[in-house]
Structure 1
Amino acid sequence: MTPPARSFLYVPGHREDRLRKAVGSDADAVVLDLEDAVPAADKDRARRAVRALLDELPPGRSAWVRVNGEPGLVEEDVAAVASPALTGIWVPKAEPGPLRRAHDLLTAAERRLHLPAGRLSVVALVETALGVLRVEQVCAAPRVARLGVGEADLAGELRLRPDDRRSELHGIRLQVVLASAAAGLAAPIGPVETDVHDTARLVETTTTLLRQGFRARTALHPRQVETINAVFTPTPAEVAEATALVRGFTGDVAVDRTGRFVDPAVLRTAHEVIARATPPPPDAPPG
């Protein structure tokens, strides 16, 4: 099974120079942003620039568009950027209602473009109180391939004042991880690290996300991509250990040569490590 993307690089839709650099980066996927990163006065310009980039996109490159959530704007966004090169859209403040609207818009776009039904996917960004409370419905919404987390918006709505490790939000992270697993979705995408210069902090906070059950993260700058990819890729030693476990398992509960108890649950973890060992190719499935 092809592992899903580990790194998603945000790039402002109105910055034509950055759009092309992002496509040429080592990120597993790019997220062309029409929402928070684009001033209201530049929305039309951003739509045109993103569409132009999609029309020139190299074959197989995974490109998503984060649309605006407000009625009116989201319709304009989807109409402007829907193309055969688009992987799908990121829906901000994802809740059942906006996700139904996104599904209907993408269905209409697929018909217009003569694409197979369901070809355009959705990443649902959980960043509201209602989105958290209804996260199971968010997972079950049509086209949702994966969840993401927007912690800045969440903290603001919940009146939280997170510490520098965002400890106050760790319970919500677990809810998102749990709902994704229960729904059979790929492990969710973690939030950005806003300090783009502190590599040590990026390693630490990305490792925390890995331990919490995330298997990907968004990036604000190309310099963050290498670290994110490295953290979410098992080391050769981890792969060797997992491979030895799989090869040595006879189907019975046992204790391995190091004294560790081995059962099917441990084996499942080993298979997950092996599956993540190969970086996703640029034409990997959505997510």
Structure 2
Amino acid sequence: MQHSFLFVPGNRPERFIKALDSGADAIIIDLEDAVADAEKAAARTAIMQAVFARPDVLVYVRINAVDTPWFLEDLTVLEHAGICGVFLPKAEYAENITQVRAQVRAQAACRVIPIIETATGLCHAQEIARASGVERLAFGSMDFQLDMNCDGSDTALLYARSQLVVISRWAGLLAPIDGVTLAMDDESRVVADARHAKALGMGGKLCIHPRQVGAVNTTWQPMPEEILWARKVLAAGGAAGANAVAVDGVMIDRPLLHKAQRILSRSQS
């Protein structure tokens, strides 16, 4: 599973290779907020002319929303063989996903990641998650707090994040991707935000600068103490067979055995 997703402006092609080399699991070439209206056509051309020579890094494009004048033209960049899919901003209805896929020739190869950024989108997230072609959901936390007129604190956004986690699990999707941290030079802030998202069950985080990538990648790897705990649990469980067993004073049952197995599996991937 990809955990780190690094934005790079579509009108800055000199940064594409740097983004690919950043260590991010995926890069998102942005045609939306990072590109001025007058530069969007040039940005599309830059994407079509780019060479993405890192098969181990997925390349997405954040297109403009379906109700903008650039939506249809943005989808033409998917003709580039190196682009695997789109991040769709302001996703509010399942029909928005249909509108994307209706314009894409190789529909099966187009991954769609809707960005939930409004109350309307959150209220329709179940239908959006079940739409054909959706790979996982992403949380547009900055626009969401603007839409909700809330302060953007962990408490204010807890309900939305938890809803996306539950809905993603219910729909059989990969765990959702959390929104950005604006503090580019504060690694402790990025780590804290990433750990909070991981604790809620989210599966990754959007990054706005290469300096954030390492912290995000590290956060989604099991901590040494988690690995130690998992090994102790599995060792005790194996020794006990079908009998109940306690580890560090905690009764271990089947869900915890499965959790331990999952931790060790992630640590070896």
Aligned residues: 265
User: Are residues 1:152 and 2:142 paired?
Assistant: yes
Question: Within 5 Å, which residues of 2 pair with 1:1-287?
Answer: 4-53=1-50, 55-71=51-67, 72-95=69-92, 96-106=94-104, 108=105, 110=106, 118-162=108-152, 165-249=153-237, 252=242, 254-279=244-269
Alignment CA distance shift 1:264-1:23 (3 Å): same
Residue 64 of structure 1 contacts residue 86 of structure 1 at CA under 8 Å; is this kept in 2? yes
Structure 1 unaligned spans of 5+: 111-116, 280-287
Contact in 1 for aligned 2:24/2:213 (Cα 8 Å): yes
Distance 1:105 1:184 in 2: 25
Distance change >3 Å, CA 61–CA 200, structure 1 → 2: closer
Q: CA deviation at 1:37?
A: 0.8
| Equivalent position of 1:114 in the other structure | none
Per the TM alignment, residue 247 of structure 1 is displaced from its structure 2 partner at its CA by 4.6
TM-score, normalising length from structure 1? 0.86
Paired AA for residue 196 in structure 2: T
Task: Give the partner amino acid of 2:13.
Answer: E
Could you say what the CA RMSD is over the residues aligned between the two structures, in angstroms?
Answer: 1.8
Aligned residue type for 1:216: G
**Aligned partners of 2:227, 2:80: CA distance in 1, in Å?**
39
Deviations 1:212-242 (A, max 9, x none): 1112101100001111111111123322322
TM-score by length of 2: 0.92
1:148–1:126 distance in 2 versus 1, CA, 3 Å: same
Instruction: Say if 1:253 and 1:262, in contact at 8 Å, map to a contact too.
Output: no
Instruction: Letter of the 2:64 partner, please give it.
Output: N
- Which ranges in structure 2 are unaligned for 5 or more consecutive residues? none
CA positional deviation for 1:206? 1.2
What displacement does 1:84 show? 2.3
How far residue 144 of structure 1 moved from its aligned partner, in angstroms, is 0.8
Please tell me the residue identity of whatever aligns with 1:77: D
Q: Name the CA shift for 1:91/1:9 in 2 (closer, same or farther; >3 Å).
A: same
CA distance in 2, matches of 1:22, 1:149: 21
Secondary structure of the 1:80 match is helix
1:253 to partner: Cα distance: 6.2
Alpha carbons of 1:68 and 1:253: their partners in 2 closer, same or farther (altered >3 Å)?
farther
Q: CA deviation at 1:160?
A: 1.9
- Tell me which amino acid in the other structure corresponds to 2:201: G
Q: Matches of 2:260 and 2:79 in 1, distance apart?
A: 39
Point out 4+ residue stretches in structure 1 off by more than 3 angstroms: 250-253
**Structure 1: distance between partners of 2:268 and 2:39:** 39
SS in 2 for 1:275: helix
Question: Comparing 211-220 with 165-174, which one deviates more in the overlay?
Answer: 165-174
Distance 2:20 2:52 in 1: 10
Query: Residue 202 of structure 1: CA displacement?
Result: 1.4
Amino acid across the alignment from 2:55: P
SS in 2 for 1:193: coil
Report if aligned partners of 1:26, 1:226 keep a CA contact under 8 Å in 2: yes
1:119–1:81 Cα change, 3 Å = closer
Q: Is the 8 A contact 1:253 1:263 kept in 2?
A: no
Could you tell me how far apart the structure 1 residues matched to 2:166 and 2:216 are? 22
Structure with more contact order per residue of length (Cα contacts < 8 Å, sep ≥ 6): 1
For structure 1, which segment, 129-138 or 270-279, has the greater mean C-alpha deviation from structure 2 after superposition?
Answer: 270-279
**1:147-186 Cα distance to aligned partner (Å, 9 max, x none):** 1100111112222233xx3421111111001101111111
